[in-house]
Chain A
Amino acid sequence: MANKKQPVSRVLGMGPIEPDVSGSSRINVDDTERIWSAAGGALLATYGLRRGSFGGLLLATLGGFMVYRGASGYCPMNQALGRNTAEPKAEDRAVDSVEIVKSLTINKPREVVYAYWRQLENLPRFMFHLSEVRQLDNKRSHWVAKLSDGLLAKTLGTVEWDAQILEEVKNERLVWKSLADARIDNAGEVRFIDAPNGQGTEVHAVIKYRPPAGQLGSAIMKLFNPAFEEMIKQDLRRFKQLLETGEITTIDGQPSGRKSEQQSGKKPVSEHAKADEKHESAML
Chain B
Amino acid sequence: MKALCYNGVGDLRTERVADPTIINPKDAILRVILSSVCGSDLHLLNGYVPTMREGDIIGHEFMGEVIEIGSEVKKLKKGDRVVVCSILGCGECQYCQSTQWSLCDNSNPNAWIPEKAYGDSPAGIFGYSHAFGGYAGSHADFIRVPYADRGCFVIPEGLADEAAVFASDALPTGFMAADLADIQPGNIVAIWGCGGVGQMAIQSAFLLGASRVIAIDREPDRLRMAKDISGAEVLDFSKVDIQEALREMTGGRGPDRCIDCVGMEAVSEGLDYYYDKTKQFVRLESDRPIVLREAILACRKGGTVSIIGVYGGLVDSIPMGAAMNKALTFRMGQQHGQRYIPRLLEHLQKGELNSGFMLTHKMSLDEGMKGYDLFNKKETMRVVFAPQ
Nearest residue (CB) in A for B6 is A257
A250 and B257 alpha carbons, distance in the complex (Å): 40
On chain B, the residues within 8 Å of A199 by CB distance are 94
Which stretch from B104-112, B154-162, B245-253, B372-380 is at the chain A interface? Answer: B104-112
Taking a contact as CB atoms under 8 Å apart, the answer to whether B55 and A258 are in contact is yes
On chain B, the residues within 8 Å of A131 by CB distance are none
Q: Take A107-B97, A234-B112, A251-B133 as given contacts and tell me if A241 and B106 are in contact as well, using a CB distance cutoff of 8 Å.
A: yes
CB distance from A123 to the nearest CB of B (A): 19
Taking a contact as CB atoms under 8 Å apart, the answer to whether A256 and B55 are in contact is yes
On chain B, the residues within 8 Å of A244 by CB distance are 90, 92-93, 105-106
On chain B, the residues within 8 Å of A255 by CB distance are 1, 3, 17-20, 57, 136, 140
Task: Show 6 residue pairs from A and B whose CB-CB distance is below 8 angstroms, ordered by the A residue.
Answer: A241-B106, A244-B105, A251-B133, A254-B20, A255-B1, A271-B130
Which stretch from B23-31, B194-202, B272-280, B337-345 is at the chain A interface? Answer: B23-31
Nearest residue (CB) in A for B97 is A107
Which parts of A225-258 form the interface with B (CB within 8 Å)? Answer: 230, 233-234, 237, 240-241, 244-258
Taking a contact as CB atoms under 8 Å apart, the answer to whether B106 and A251 are in contact is no
Residues of B within 8 Å of A, CB-based: how many?
A: 47
Taking a contact as CB atoms under 8 Å apart, the answer to whether B23 and A252 are in contact is yes
Which parts of B1-39 form the interface with A (CB within 8 Å)? Answer: 1, 3, 5-7, 13, 15, 17-21, 23-26
Residue B54 is within 8 A (CB to CB) of chain A in the complex: yes
Q: Take A250-B23, A257-B5, A257-B7 as given contacts and tell me if A271 and B54 are in contact as well, using a CB distance cutoff of 8 Å.
A: no
Residue B370 is within 8 A (CB to CB) of chain A in the complex: no
- Chain A 242-284, CB-CB to B under 8 Å as 1, else 0, gives 0011111111111111110110000000111000000000000
Does more than half of chain B's interface fall in helix, strand or loop, or is it mixed? loop
A233 and B113 alpha carbons, distance in the complex (Å): 12
Taking a contact as CB atoms under 8 Å apart, the answer to whether A245 and B147 are in contact is yes
On chain A, the residues within 8 Å of B109 by CB distance are 249-251, 270-271
CB distance from B325 to the nearest CB of A (A): 34
Residue B53 is within 8 A (CB to CB) of chain A in the complex: yes
On chain B, the residues within 8 Å of A246 by CB distance are 25-26, 72
- Chain A 182-198, CB-CB to B under 8 Å as 1, else 0, gives 00000000000000000
Residues of A within 8 Å of B, CB-based: how many?
A: 31
Residue B169 is within 8 A (CB to CB) of chain A in the complex: no
A199 and B133 alpha carbons, distance in the complex (Å): 25
Q: Take A244-B93, A255-B57 as given contacts and tell me if A237 and B24 are in contact as well, using a CB distance cutoff of 8 Å.
A: no
Residue B172 is within 8 A (CB to CB) of chain A in the complex: no
Ranked nearest first, the 10 interchain pairs of A and B with the lowest CB-CB distance are: A257-B5, A258-B55, A257-B55, A255-B17, A244-B92, A255-B18, A247-B24, A257-B15, A256-B55, A249-B109
Nearest residue (CB) in B for A258 is B55
Partner of B54 from A234, A250, A257 at Cβ < 8 Å: A257
Residue B144 is within 8 A (CB to CB) of chain A in the complex: yes
Residue B146 is within 8 A (CB to CB) of chain A in the complex: yes
Partner of A251 from B5, B17, B91, B135 at Cβ < 8 Å: B135
Residue A105 is within 8 A (CB to CB) of chain B in the complex: yes
On chain B, the residues within 8 Å of A240 by CB distance are 93, 105-106
Q: Take A244-B93, A258-B54 as given contacts and tell me if A253 and B135 are in contact as well, using a CB distance cutoff of 8 Å.
A: no
Taking a contact as CB atoms under 8 Å apart, the answer to whether A245 and B90 are in contact is yes
On chain A, the residues within 8 Å of B6 by CB distance are 257
Residue B217 is within 8 A (CB to CB) of chain A in the complex: no
Taking a contact as CB atoms under 8 Å apart, the answer to whether A250 and B24 are in contact is yes
On chain B, the residues within 8 Å of A257 by CB distance are 3, 5-7, 13, 15, 17, 54-57
On chain B, the residues within 8 Å of A250 by CB distance are 23-24, 109
Nearest residue (CB) in A for B95 is A107
Which parts of B100-142 form the interface with A (CB within 8 Å)? Answer: 105-113, 124, 130, 133-136, 140
CB distance from A55 to the nearest CB of B (A): 38
Taking a contact as CB atoms under 8 Å apart, the answer to whether A253 and B21 are in contact is yes
A258 and B144 alpha carbons, distance in the complex (Å): 17
On chain B, the residues within 8 Å of A253 by CB distance are 21, 23
Nearest residue (CB) in B for A105 is B94
Nearest residue (CB) in A for B144 is A254
Q: Take A234-B112, A244-B106 as given contacts and tell me if A256 and B90 are in contact as well, using a CB distance cutoff of 8 Å.
A: no
